[in-house]
Every structure is written in structure tokens, then in C-alpha cells.
């Protein structure tokens, strides 16, 4: 039995000296030390030994196993180092080679416009508020003085989750939630995605972005509305932009208006973009309807306010001369890469 052990060790050392990969090493380990390995065979055959021989051979076998396992650990380490060195040698990095350019993304034109507008209102002391896109019918309609049977509901083809829950059709619910949680003075804008089940065409998308704003304090007048929105448009499109207001109607503002600005393409001469008008409609606005203030728990005898709203997509298309809203949502890099 002792010779047998030495023979195994001998053969093991020869094979160990001859191998060069960790796979071969693992194979040798299993051969000698594995469950069906040669040493295991010996241990299994110990039954045939005498009682006094058994512990001696047992000890011999275990010592031999430890010795071989130590050698395997050592060779495994040096094989790993050798493999790393080889890798390092082969992976010579030619630093003169041009780097692999990872394509730098760019801001989406909608986000560029959104940020520019947000910064203009932040500079004017407004806060930016956000709210849920899946909204309660109450916040999207009732609280805005648009009762159940109000025609405005029909106008805004609404996605109903159920008769109490809708996909918001405008960001005005954010203003209502703000009125409920903040006492005046309030100066805020609410940018965000809104949903209307419109058919997709060059100027309509079922999902688009809006920015609405609200100012409530004591003594707020239509002059504050005109001054604030006129300044916004001049900061957005240029100081030479002249604004004008046309009477309009919204259920949530009284009086209401639409604001036009001189076409920043033809500066009033009249062109394709402004359909020869020289002016283009920029946004809707008005003094907050007293019913809306009351519903929000604000006394219209003490406080007054103005609000406004516009489609961000439309303003982005005006700003960049984009004639099809679908370009903003189709993620076509030929289009988007122009806005780097
Ligand atoms: C409260 C009170 C009043 C928000 C307003 C508009 C005018 C407006 C349209 C712009 C283009 C919707 O996306 S659009 O079709 N919106 O013209 N929105 S005033 O009025 C409010 C909002 C909240 C508490």
C-alpha cells in the first residue's frame, strides 16, 4: 500500500510538471483527489488491511493528499498569474489608436424648450409644481368649474379609466392641488404630459406637453397678467416681440383671453408660419374664476389671480419651425440629431 501511495505521488508530480493550463490541473486533481480519485480508491480498500496497519496507511494517505492539494493550490496560483501576464502582453493597447467614440446624446427639443421656459419663470420668482397624470375627475374638471354635463368635457376628448378617474387633459389639476395645500401668495407653473384622445395628425398627438401657470395674491389684476406674459414672451422669443390679447372664454377664468405675439419668423410682415397674419397665437389666459377660487377654499373677495396655459409642443414647433408634431415623438435620429 505504501508503494502504491508513492507511485501515485510520483505520477502526480510528473503530470503536474507537464501541464500548462488550469483545465489540465483540474483534471489531474479530480483524477487523484476526486470522489472516484486514486486516493479515494485506496481509502475504500483499507478494509482489507489489518487493524494496526489501517491508521498508518490512513495517516499516510491524508498526508499525501494534503501535500498534493498544497501543490495544486500553488500551481493554480502561478497558472493564473501566467494567464494574466499573457493577457497583458497580448492586450497591448495602442494608445495612438483613435478612441471609440460613444455617441453623445443630446437634449430633446421639447426638453430644451421646457427648461428655457422653466428658467424664465424661476427667474420671475415662480415655483415649479408637478402632480399625478392619472387624475381624479374632480381635479381635472369639477374643481375647474367644468361640471359633469359641461360641453368643455366633450371638447377635450378624455381618456376615462372609470367614471371617477381620467388621464389628465391639462395640468390645471396641479394648480388646484397647490391651492388646497398652499395659502396665497401663490406663483407657480405646472409643466407636464397631458392626454387627449385626438386622432394623430401633423398638429395633434394623444400625448403632448403643456405648461400652465397661476398667480394668486391680494390685488392681482389683468395688468399683472399682461405684464407677466408679455415679459415671458420677450424673454422666450426676443424683445422685439409685441403681444396682443383677444377676448376668449374658458370655464375656469373670467375674463379670458388668447394672447398673440408678432411672428418671430417674419416679425409681423406675414409669412407661411403665421399664415400671413404677422401674429401667431401663443397661449390662453385669464383671471381665475371666483368659483374656482371658492372651490379651492380661497375667498375671491380678498384674493384674485390670473392663470395661463399653452401647449409646449406647439411652442417648440413655433420656435424651431417644425411643421409636424409626430417628429417630436417618433425618435427618428435624423430629426433629433439636429438639436445637439
Ligand atoms: C386654475 C385656474 C385657472 C389655466 C389656463 C388656459 C388658459 C389655456 C390651453 C392652452 C393650450 C390648453 O393645451 S391647450 O390646449 N389652456 O389656454 N389654461 S387659463 O387656467 C387655470 C388653471 C388652474 C386653478
Asked whether 253 lines ligand 1 (CB < 6 A), one says yes
Looking at the predicted structure, is the pLDDT value of residue 137 above 60?
A: yes
How far does the centroid of ligand 1 lie from the alpha carbon of residue 66, in Å? 82
How far does the centroid of ligand 1 lie from the alpha carbon of residue 144, in Å? 10
Residue 148, SS3 per DSSP? coil
Q: Are strands 253-262 and 279-288 parallel, antiparallel or unpaired?
A: antiparallel
| Cβ–Cβ under 8 Å, residues 140 and 100 | no
278: left (phi over 0), alpha (psi -120 to 50) or beta: left
The arithmetic mean of pLDDT across residues 318-330, rounded, is 92
pLDDT tens per residue across span 162-190: 999 999 999 999 999 999 999 999 999 99
Sign, CA dihedral 88-89-95-101, equals negative
Q: Which atom of ligand 1 is nearest to the CA of 310?
A: 10
- Ligand 1 pocket: which of 194, 283, 308, 309 to mutate (most atoms within 8 A of CB): 309
Asked whether 173 lines ligand 1 (CB < 6 A), one says no
The model's confidence at residue 140, banded by pLDDT at 50, 70 and 90, is: very high
Q: Which atom of ligand 1 is nearest to the CA of 284?
A: 17
Q: Burial, 46: exposed, middle or buried (Cβ in 10 Å; 0-12, 13-18, 19+)?
A: middle
Q: How far is CA 261 from the centre of its chain?
A: 33
Distance CA 244, CA 193 (A): 27
Residue 315, SS3 per DSSP? helix
The conformation of residue 323, written as its DSSP 8-state character, comes to -
- Ligand 1 pocket: which of 131, 156, 170, 286 to mutate (most atoms within 8 A of CB): 170
For the chain, percent of residues with pLDDT exceeding 70: 99
Asked whether 189 lines ligand 1 (CB < 6 A), one says no
The arithmetic mean of pLDDT across residues 57-75, rounded, is 90
Looking at the predicted structure, is the pLDDT value of residue 156 above 70?
A: no
Chain mean pLDDT for the chain: 92
Total Cβ atoms within 10 A of residue 229: 22
pLDDT value at position 109? 96
Residue from 207, 150, 210 nearest 175 by CA: 210
Q: Which atom of ligand 1 is nearest to the CA of 212?
A: 4
Helices 2-18/22-33 angle, 10° precision: 170
pLDDT value at position 198? 84
User: DSSP letters of 53-100?
Assistant: HHHHHHHHHHHHHHHHHHHHHHHHHHHHHHHHHHHHHH----TTSPP-
The conformation of residue 200, written as its DSSP 8-state character, comes to P
Name, of 10-24, 108-122, 194-208, the range with top average pLDDT. 108-122
pLDDT tens per residue across span 229-266: 999 999 999 999 999 999 999 999 999 999 999 998 88
Q: Burial, 253: exposed, middle or buried (Cβ in 10 Å; 0-12, 13-18, 19+)?
A: buried
Asked whether 304 lines ligand 1 (CB < 6 A), one says no
Distance CA 271, CA 275 (A): 6
Looking at the predicted structure, is the pLDDT value of residue 340 above 80?
A: no
Looking at the predicted structure, is the pLDDT value of residue 127 above 90?
A: yes
How far does the centroid of ligand 1 lie from the alpha carbon of residue 1, in Å? 97
Whether the link from the prior residue into 255 is cis, omega within 30° of 0, is: yes
Amino acid at each position: 500500500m505504501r508503494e502504491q501511495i508513492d507511485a501515485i505521488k510520483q505520477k502526480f508530480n510528473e503530470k503536474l510538471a507537464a501541464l500548462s493550463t488550469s483545465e489540465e490541473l483540474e483534471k489531474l486533481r479530480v483524477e487523484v483527489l476526486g470522489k472516484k480519485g486514486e486516493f479515494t480508491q485506496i481509502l475504500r480498500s483499507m478494509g482489507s488491511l489489518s487493524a494496526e496497519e489501517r491508521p498508518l496507511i490512513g495517516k499516510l494517505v491524508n498526508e499525501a493528499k494534503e501535500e498534493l492539494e498544497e501543490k495544486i493550490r500553488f500551481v493554480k496560483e502561478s497558472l493564473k498569474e501566467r494567464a494574466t501576464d499573457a493577457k497583458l502582453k497580448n492586450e497591448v493597447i495602442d494608445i495612438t489608436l483613435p478612441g471609440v467614440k460613444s455617441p453623445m446624446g443630446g437634449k430633446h427639443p421639447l426638453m430644451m424648450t421646457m427648461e428655457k421656459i422653466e428658467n424664465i419663470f424661476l427667474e420671475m420668482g415662480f415655483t415649479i409644481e408637478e402632480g399625478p397624470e392619472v387624475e381624479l375627475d374632480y381635479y381635472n374638471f369639477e374643481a375647474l368649474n367644468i361640471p359633469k354635463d359641461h360641453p368643455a368635457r366633450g371638447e377635450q376628448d378624455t381618456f376615462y379609466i372609470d367614471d371617477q378617474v381620467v388621464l389628465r387633459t391639462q395640468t390645471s389639476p396641479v394648480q388646484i392641488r397647490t391651492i388646497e395645500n398652499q395659502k396665497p401668495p401663490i406663483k407657480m407653473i405646472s409643466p407636464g404630459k397631458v392626454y387627449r384622445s385626438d386622432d394623430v395628425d401633423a398638429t395633434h398627438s394623444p400625448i403632448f406637453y403643456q405648461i400652465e401657470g397661476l398667480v394668486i395674491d391680494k390685488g392681482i389684476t389683468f395688468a399683472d397678467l399682461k405684464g407677466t406674459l408679455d415679459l415671458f414672451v420677450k424673454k422666450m422669443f426676443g424683445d422685439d416681440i409685441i403681444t396682443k390679447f383677444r377676448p376668449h372664454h374658458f370655464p375656469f377664468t373670467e375674463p379670458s383671453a388668447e394672447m398673440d405675439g408678432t411672428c418671430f419668423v417674419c416679425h409681423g410682415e406675414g409669412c407661411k408660419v403665421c399664415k400671413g397674419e404677422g401674429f401667431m397665437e401663443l397661449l390662453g389666459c385669464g383671471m381665475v374664476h371666483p368659483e374656482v377660487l371658492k372651490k379651492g377654499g380661497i375667498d375671491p373677495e380678498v384674493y384674485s389671480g390670473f392663470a395661463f396655459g399653452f401647449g409646449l409642443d406647439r411652442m417648440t414647433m413655433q420656435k424651431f419651425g417644425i411643421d409636424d408634431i409626430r417628429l417630436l415623438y417618433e425618435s427618428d435620429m435624423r430629426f433629433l440629431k439636429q438639436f445637439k
